Each structure stands twice: as structure tokens, then as C-alpha cells.
Amino acid sequence: MKRHFFKTGITLSLLCGLAASPAVSHSEARNGSASRPTSSRQVALNEEAHREYIDGEMALKNRNFAIAEDYFRGTLAIRPDGAAYFSLALALSAQGKQLEAIQTYEKLFHPDGHVSFGGSYFSRAHLEYALLLDQMGNWPEAVGNYQSGVSTLGSGNGPKPNVEFAPNIPQPMALAAAIHIALGIDADAQLNNLGEYDHVRAFNEYAQALKLNPDWAVANYYYGYGLRQSGRRAEAQVAFQKAAQLDNGEIKAAAEKALIGQ
């Protein structure tokens, strides 16, 4: 596949998971050889892996999913990396390669000892995986990954959509709406893989949740929040009012507080 390189001013220290440090095996860590001086070849390989990853992220941001896939596979050919596995799964899913995406997520969440993953992208990875599993009809695992993703979300700008779903009673549209809300909260609260907040993605997630579940107070509240963040205050007021009408608890209180602050 022909690659199109993207220029970027991002420094090598931007992503701690892909900093220019050597890949260390478990055996090296055990016998202490990890402290040995890093060879110039290893440094060069790590820098190449980092460049491949950053170029892949730029391609993913520009919706060049096939090119992004190529770059992430290039990163992983040099060394296993959790962030690259996650971004590869996103690129595959965006191309309709759901089975390959699921296999990639499985490598990420069921590692063989060579992949390390965690930190700020942990919630989103579980939520994206849950959404994919929900679409593929794997209800029990979708619910499990949704709960894992929500449990590690930040507080965001309102109540978390910590909805309980029975593992034996599928509610695919309700679950998808809850996942989209959680993904929106994550996009608002966390820097993405390029060190940026993605408020546009957050708003799109809230809008998708509302489309799936228009009479859900949580969806109306967060849609209102996204509208207000976009400067569309009159529309936001309508959404907050509807959220308050649909709930008598935490969401009602949050919506009424938002209306006062309009």
C-alpha cells in the first residue's frame, strides 16, 4: 500500500506509551538486563515505531482509515504496543472489518504478556469494543466491556450513564445509547492520541445517543451540554428543559442547574 506521510510538530515525548524507550521483555525485567545500555539500533527502531504511530494517528484523524491501518501495522511490526493495537482496531472497524477489529481488541484485552495497556485510553477502548460487540450481537461481552469502560470514566460534566443491563435480556439500542454518552464524556474529558480534546467527537456521540434513545433524560442532558459547548445556547436550553421534564432525580437537578447558568 502506498503511504502518504504527514508532517507533524509533535515531539517524541508527547505520548508516554510511545516514548523513545526500548521495548523490554518480561525475561529482561526478571534477570535485570533491562538496565543495560540501549543500543543505537534499538533507539532507531523505537523512533521509527513512534513516527509510524504518529503518522497513523494523523491519517486516522483525517479519516484515511486504510492508510492509518498500514501505519499502525508498521508500528506493531517493530514492537507490540497497546496504543497502536487500540488505534488499529478503530481503523479496522471504520473500514467495516469488524472481525479483524474484534481480534485486535482481544489481543489488547487478553494480552500474552507482551502488550501493556492502560491509562487515559483504557475507558474509551473498552467502550469502543463494547459498541462493536453490541453491533455484532454479543450481548454479554458488550455489557461487560461497557461496565468496565464506565467504571473508569472521569466525572465529566454531569452524571455518568452507569446504567445496569441484565446479561440475559438484550437491549441493544439502549446499550448503544449509553455507550455513546460514555464515549462523549470521555472525549470531553481526555486528551486524544494527538494530545487534543475532541469536543466535536463528543458532540457527535451525544447526538447519536439522543437519536437512539430520544426520551432518555441523560441523552437530552448531554446533548444540551454539547450544544451549549458549541455556542448553540437556545437549542441547549430546549434540551436541558426536556431532560428536566424526563427525570426526577440527579439528571433533573443537573439540567436545572445548567438552565440557571445559561
pLDDT for residue 4: 44
Separation of alpha carbons 240 and 225, rounded Å: 8
Q: What is the DSSP string of 211-238?
A: HH-TT-HHHHHHHHHHHHHTT-HHHHHH
Separation of alpha carbons 35 and 32, rounded Å: 6
CB 55 within 8 Å of CB 82: no
Task: For residue 246, give every residue at least 6 positions away whose Cβ sits within 8 Å of its Cβ, in sequence order, or none.
Answer: 215, 216, 217, 220
pTM: 0.79
Which residue in the block uniquely carries the three cell numbers 484485552?
109
Q: Which of 59, 112, 113, 114 is nearest to 87 (CA)?
A: 59
Number of residues that make up the chain: 262
pLDDT for residue 260: 86
CA dihedral 236, 237, 239, 240 (to 10 degrees): 110
pLDDT for residue 111: 60
For the chain, percent of residues with pLDDT exceeding 90: 53
The confidence band for 133, taking pLDDT boundaries of 50, 70 and 90, is very high
Helix (H/G/I), strand (E/B), else coil: 162: coil
The confidence band for 27, taking pLDDT boundaries of 50, 70 and 90, is very low
Separation of alpha carbons 6 and 44, rounded Å: 19
Average pLDDT over all residues of the chain: 81
CB 133 within 8 Å of CB 145: yes
How far from the centroid of its chain's Cα atoms is residue 185's Cα?
10
CB 184 within 8 Å of CB 155: no
pLDDT digits (tens, 9 = 90+) for 180-226: 999 999 888 876 656 667 888 999 999 999 999 999 999 999 999 99
Phi/psi of residue 107, nearest 5 degrees: -65, -35
Helix (H/G/I), strand (E/B), else coil: 161: coil
For the chain, percent of residues with pLDDT exceeding 70: 76
Plot region of 156 (φ>0 → left; ψ -120 to 50 → alpha; else → beta): left
- What's the start-to-end Cα distance of the chain, in Å? 51
Q: Is the pLDDT of residue 15 over 90?
A: no
Q: What is the DSSP letter of 120?
A: G
pLDDT digits (tens, 9 = 90+) for 237-252: 999 999 999 998 889 9
pLDDT for residue 189: 81
Tell me the CB-side half-sphere exposure of residue 188, using CA atoms within 13 A.
25
Separation of alpha carbons 69 and 62, rounded Å: 13
User: What is the chain's Cα-based Rg?
Assistant: 20
pLDDT for residue 158: 65
pLDDT for residue 226: 93
